[in-house]
Chain A
Amino acid sequence: MRRLIRLILCFTLIVSLMLVAGACKRREKLASQAAEEDGGAPVLVSMIHMADPRAAVQLARGFYGVEANAWRWTMSKFSVVLRPPTGAAQKGATLRFKFNIPQVVMAQVKSTTLSASVNGLVLPPETYSKAGDAVYSRDVPVAPLSGDAVTVDFALSKCLPPGSQDDRELGVIAQMVGLEVK
C-alpha cells in the first residue's frame, strides 16, 4: 500500500510539473495580449463585420456574443456607432444592414418590421415576412452625418421572447452593418 501511495504521489508530482510548465507559457501569451493598447487604432470604422474583435466596441447595445466566428444574435432593439465615411458629410451615405431571419424565428413571428434611425433621424422602415438572408438599405441625408461618429438605432417590431430553448430575447442574426458613401 505504501509503495502504491508513493507511486501515486510521484505520478501526480510529475503531471503537475508538466502542467505548470505549460501554464507558464500560456500566462506570458495572455500578459502580452492584455498589454495591447488601443492607441494604435483609435479610429472607429464605418463598416462593422460582426466577428471583427476590433469593432466589437462599436456594437453599443443589444448584441449577443459572436457565434461561429461570423455572426451575432440581436435583441429587439440594438444600436451601433459608426464613423461616417469620408465625404458623407457632403454627399450623404447609404446605411446597409446585412442580416438573416432564421426559419425558427419567422415561424413564430410571421413577419417583423425593422426600423432604424441615424443620430435620431428616422429612416423608412421595412417589413420582412420570409425567412433567410436580407439587407436593409437606406439613403441617409447629410444632416445627421456631420460629426465624427453617428449612432444608428435599430428596432424590430417582433422577436422571439426568452423561452425554454433559449433564455435570450432573439431578434435577427446580424452579419454586417455600416455606412457607405454615395
Chain B
Amino acid sequence: MTPARLRAGRTAYYLFPCLFCLAVYWSTLRGWFWQDDFAWLGLSRELHGWRDLFHTLFEPMAQGTVRVFSERIFFLAMHAAFGLQVLPFHAVVFLTQFGNLVLLAAIAGRLTGSRFVGFLAPLLWTANAALSTSLSWVSAYNQVLCAFCLLAAFYFLLRYIETNDRKFLLAQWIAFLFGFGVLETVVVYPALAALYTFCFARRHFRTTWPLFIPSVVFAILHILYIPTVASPVYAFHFGSSLAATFSQYVLWSLGPIQLGALLGELWFWPGVIGTAAIGLALAGFAAWQLWKRNWLAVFCLGWFCFLLLPVLPLRNHISDYYLTSPIIGFAILGAWAFASAWENGAGLRTVALLLGVFYLCGSIAEIRCQTHWFLEQSRRFQNVFQALAVTHARHPDNLLLISGVDNELFGSGFQDQPFRLFGVEQVYLTPGSEAGIHAREDLGGITPFLMSTEAAGRAIERGKAQVLAVSGNEAHLVTHRYGKVLSAEYLTESRGRIDVGNPQFATRLGPGWYQEENGFRWMSKRASVRLAGPNSPGCHLMVNGYAPVSVMKHGPMTLHIAADGYKLGSAVISQPDRHFQLQFRLPGNLIGRYTIDITLEVDRTRRVPGDIRDLGLIFGTLAIQ
C-alpha cells in the first residue's frame, strides 16, 4: 500500500466517527440556548473591570462549582466574541467531541491491539443516547470537555508507558490538572490511571501515586471553602439509594431502554428486552475475559464505576449527561466484545450483529427524540426571547408582560434571568397565567414573575406596559386586546364595587356623570351606577366622596341615595373641602339580584366661574360590603 493510501486510510479511520457524530446530532446545531446557559451568558454583565475578573472566574456559583474553563471562560469569551449567536458555541462543543472521538479510537485500538475495536468504540459511544444532552445543551460542555481531559490524560499515560518519554508524563499531568477547571469528576482520574497501571504496567504503578495529591487537595479545598448547597435537588444522599441510582445509570448506559417512554408503549418491551440482552452479552463477555485472566474487562468496568462515583449520591438529580465520560468504559468493552464475537464463528457473529444493529437503531431513535425535544424547547424559547427583545427595543420604558407561558416554556429559562441580556431585569406573567407552572423554589420561585390584576391593568391603561401572548411556537404583541381582557376580568371580579373615577368602570356608569378628572368624577344633580346585588343579609353600601368648597358656599348639601327604586337614606354634607364616607343598609329584597341601579341625587347644584356644568358632588368609590 502506498504512503498516500495509508494516510487516506488513517484519515478515514479517524474522520468517519466524526462524520457519524455530526450526522446523528446534526439537528442539535440548530438548537438555541437553554436554562443555565442564560445564567452563564449573563456573567459578562458582572464583569466591569479587572477587579471583577477574579470574582467572576473563581467565586463558587451554581451548586458551588468553580468550572473556570468549561463554564466561566468558555461563556465569557464566546459571548464576547459572538454575542447570542449559538452556532459558534455548538461548533466548539463538536470540535471538542471530535477530539474525544479521535482520542478514544487511539486508546481503544491500543488497549485491545485491534484497529477494528478502535474504529467501533467511538461509534458505540456516539450512538449512546446519554450523549444527546451533552451535545445539545451548551451548558453541558463541561461534560464534553471533561471527557477530553480524561481521554487526553489517559492517552498520554499510554504513550508514556509505550515510550518511557517523560514529555508524555508531563502532558498527562497538564491534561489532568486542566481538568480541575473543567469538572469535579476529574478527581477520580488517578484511580483510573492506577487501575490501568496495576493491571497492565505494574512498573509504572508508582508513577500514578502523585496524581492523587491534587485530587486530595481539591477535595479538601472543596469541603472547606465551597458552601453547602441548600437545594434538595443537589443534596447528597448516602445509603441504599446509591444502589438504585447506580442501577438507573447502568440501564441507561447499556442501550435504548427508554424507547417505550420516547416512542410509545409499543416499543416498551423491545427496548427492555433488547437492552437486557445487550447487558447479558456484555456481562457474559466480561466474565469470560476475567476467567481468561484478561483484566481489560476490569479496567473498562472500573472506568464506568469510578467516573460515576462522584454523582451517585445525587439521587434527586439523576441526569443522562452525567454518563458522558463513564460510558466510554462500556463503549470500549462493547466494541471489544463485538470484535471478538465477529472473529469467533457465524453464531456469535450473528448475535453480535443483531445486538449491534438493535443498539444503533434504537439508540439513534432515542437520540432523535431527545434532540428533537431539545430543539423544539430551545427554539420556542428563542422565539419568545426575540419577540420580547424587539418589543423592549421599541418600548424601552415599558414593563413587559407575557401570557400563555406553559410549564415547559417557563422551565426553559425564565428563572435564569435571560432577559437581562437585552436590558430587562424582570418580565411578568399576566395575572392568573401562572397557574400550572412549577417554578423552582431554589431559583426564587414564581413570586418575582407575578403582578396583580389591578397593577397590570393600570400599567396597560397608562401605556406603561406591553403584552405578548404565546401560542404554540409563536409570540404576538397583544397589548390592546389583553387590556380589554384584563378589564373584563377586573370588572367581573369587582362587580360589587365601582370606582367612578377609573375609566375601566365606565360601562357601569349610568347617566348624570361628567368626564373623569385625575381619578375622580363630578356628578350633576342626579347620577347613577350599576352594581351587583348584595349576596347576603346585612350588607351595606359604602359611598366615598368629596365636597369642594366651591359648591358648598351656600351651606350644606343633602344627598339622597336609592337602590333599584328603594330609598336607602339621605345624608347632609356640611364640611367643605373634606372627604366624606357614608354607609347605608341595603334591604333584603335586593339580595341575589344580578345588578342593582344605585341613584345619587343632591338637593341643589352650583356653577363655578368659567365652567358651564351644573356641579353636584365629587365621588370616588361605591361598594357593597
Contacts from A to B (Cβ < 8 Å): 3-4, 7-9, 11-12, 15-16, 19-20, 22-23, 27, 30-31, 33-39, 41-44, 51-54, 56-62, 64-66, 69, 75, 79, 81, 119-121, 143-144, 146-151, 153, 167-169
Contacts and interface: CB of A to CB of B under 8 A. Distances in A.
A35 B489 CA distance: 28
B14 A4 contact: yes
Contacts of A148: 484, 507
A40 to B, nearest CB: 10
A150 B470 contact: no
A120 B532 contact: yes
B102 A4 contact: yes
Contacts of A42: 480-481, 484
Given A120-B492, A151-B492, A57 B482 contact: yes
Which 7 A-B pairs give the minimum distances between C-beta atoms? A53-B471, A149-B488, A56-B471, A34-B390, A151-B492, A34-B387, A61-B432
B85 A23 contact: yes
A83 to B, nearest CB: 8
Interface string B388-399: 011100000000
Given A31-B386, A144-B594, A167 B22 contact: no
Given A12-B98, A30-B383, A120 B435 contact: no
B350 interface: no
B11 to A, nearest CB: 6
A76 to B, nearest CB: 10
Given A66-B471, A81-B488, A147-B491, A57 B436 contact: no
Nearest to A33: B474
Contacts of A44: 481, 484-485
B475 interface: yes
B595 interface: yes
B472 interface: yes
Contacts of B382: 30
B77 interface: no
A38 B478 contact: yes
Given A20-B85, A60-B485, A119 B491 contact: yes
B261 to A, nearest CB: 11
B435 to A, nearest CB: 6
Contacts of B507: 146-148
A20 B248 CA distance: 39
Nearest to A62: B435
A88 B474 CA distance: 33
Contacts of B492: 119-120, 150-151, 153
B576 interface: no
A34 B386 contact: yes
Interface residues of B, number: 63
Given A23-B85, A38-B480, A4 B390 contact: no
A157 B29 CA distance: 47
B528 interface: no
Nearest to B15: A7
Given A4-B14, A39-B480, 18 more contacts: A4-B11, A4-B102, A15-B29, A20-B87, A23-B85, A34-B387, A34-B390, A38-B477, A38-B478, A38-B480, A53-B476, A56-B404, A60-B485, A61-B435, A81-B485, A81-B488, A143-B595, A148-B507
A121 B237 CA distance: 54
A23 B88 CA distance: 11
Contact of A38 (B474, B479, B495): B479
A167 B410 CA distance: 15
A61 B30 CA distance: 33
Q: Is the interface of B mostly helix, strand, loop or mixed?
A: helix
11 contacts: A8-B102, A9-B95, A22-B30, A34-B475, A39-B480, A42-B484, A44-B485, A56-B469, A144-B594, A149-B484, A151-B492
A33 to B, nearest CB: 7
Contacts of A16: 87-88, 91
A64 B22 contact: no
Nearest to A24: B85
Contact of A58 (B87, B99, B467, B481): B481
B196 to A, nearest CB: 23
Interface string B484-511: 1101110110010000000000010000
A42 B404 CA distance: 18
B438 interface: yes
B403 interface: yes
Contact of A7 (B11, B387, B471, B479): B11
A81 B490 CA distance: 11
Given A8-B98, A15-B22, A23-B85, A36 B91 contact: no
B141 to A, nearest CB: 15
B407 interface: yes
B299 interface: no
Nearest to A42: B480
B15 A57 contact: no
A119 B478 contact: no
B472 A54 contact: no
Interface string B77-92: 0000000011110010
A19 B491 contact: no
Nearest to B98: A8
A129 B433 CA distance: 29
Contacts of A9: 95
Contact of B477 (A8, A31, A37, A169): A37
B471 A58 contact: no
Contacts of B387: 30, 33-34
Contact of B495 (A4, A54, A119, A146): A119
B7 interface: yes
A60 B102 contact: no
Contacts of A52: 471
B98 A57 contact: no
Contacts of A31: 386, 390
B91 A150 contact: no
Nearest to B481: A57
B481 A38 contact: yes
Contacts of B91: 12, 15-16
Contacts of A65: 404, 406, 408-409, 472
B102 A121 contact: no
A151 B489 contact: yes
Contacts of A7: 11, 15
A58 B485 contact: yes
B406 A64 contact: yes
Given A61-B432, A121-B594, A53 B7 contact: no
A28 to B, nearest CB: 11
A168 B470 CA distance: 19
Contacts of B390: 31, 34-35
B584 to A, nearest CB: 22
> Which of B485, B495, B595 is packed against the most chain A CB atoms within 10 Å?
B485
B189 interface: no
B617 interface: no
A119 B490 CA distance: 10
B11 A53 contact: no
A157 B433 CA distance: 21
B478 A57 contact: yes
B618 to A, nearest CB: 25
Contacts of A3: 7, 11
A12 B476 contact: no
Nearest to B506: A147
